[in-house]
């Protein structure tokens, strides 16, 4: 399946775009997604941390992704 992923902050700059497309086998988990993502954008693995948001909430590594999910890259936050 083809996932369109929103990228914010430093991940947006590393990806060079607000959105990145990642091709994943059906039934992939968040953890699988990160493996593919890091191979596609190796610099993302140098961040202090990288969380994945699914449908506007922090996702566990074991969560299974579906085509219709809203996925986003959450590098270390620094609000306030």
Partner 1 sequence: MIKITPKPIDIQKVIDTASSLGAGAVNVFIGTVRNTAHGKKVLWLEYEAYEAMAVAEIRKIIDEASHRWPLLGWAVSHRIGTLKPGEVSVAIAVSSPHRRDSFEACQFIIDTLKEKAPIWKKEIFEGGEEWVSAQPNVAKVYN
Q: Which two tokens stand for residue 19?
A: 């959105």
Count of residues in contact with partner 1, rule CB under 8 A: 21
Give the nearest distance from C-beta 12 to partner 1 in angstroms: 8
Separation of alpha carbons 8 and 17, rounded Å: 9
* Residue 42 engages partner 1 in binding (rule: CB under 8 A): no
* Residue 80 engages partner 1 in binding (rule: CB under 8 A): yes
Q: What is the three-class DSSP state of 2?
A: strand
Separation of alpha carbons 5 and 7, rounded Å: 6
Give the nearest distance from C-beta 26 to partner 1 in angstroms: 25
* Residue 16 engages partner 1 in binding (rule: CB under 8 A): no
């Amino acid at each position: 399946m083809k996932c369109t992923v929103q990228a914010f902050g430093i991940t947006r700059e590393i990806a060079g775009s607000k959105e990145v497309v990642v091709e994943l086998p059906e039934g992939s988990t968040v953890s699988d997604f990160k493996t593919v993502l890091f191979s596609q954008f190796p610099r993302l693995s140098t961040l202090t941390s990288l969380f994945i948001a699914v449908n506007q909430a922090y996702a566990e590594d074991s969560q299974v992704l579906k085509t219709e999910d809203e996925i986003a890259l959450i590098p270390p936050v620094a609000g306030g």
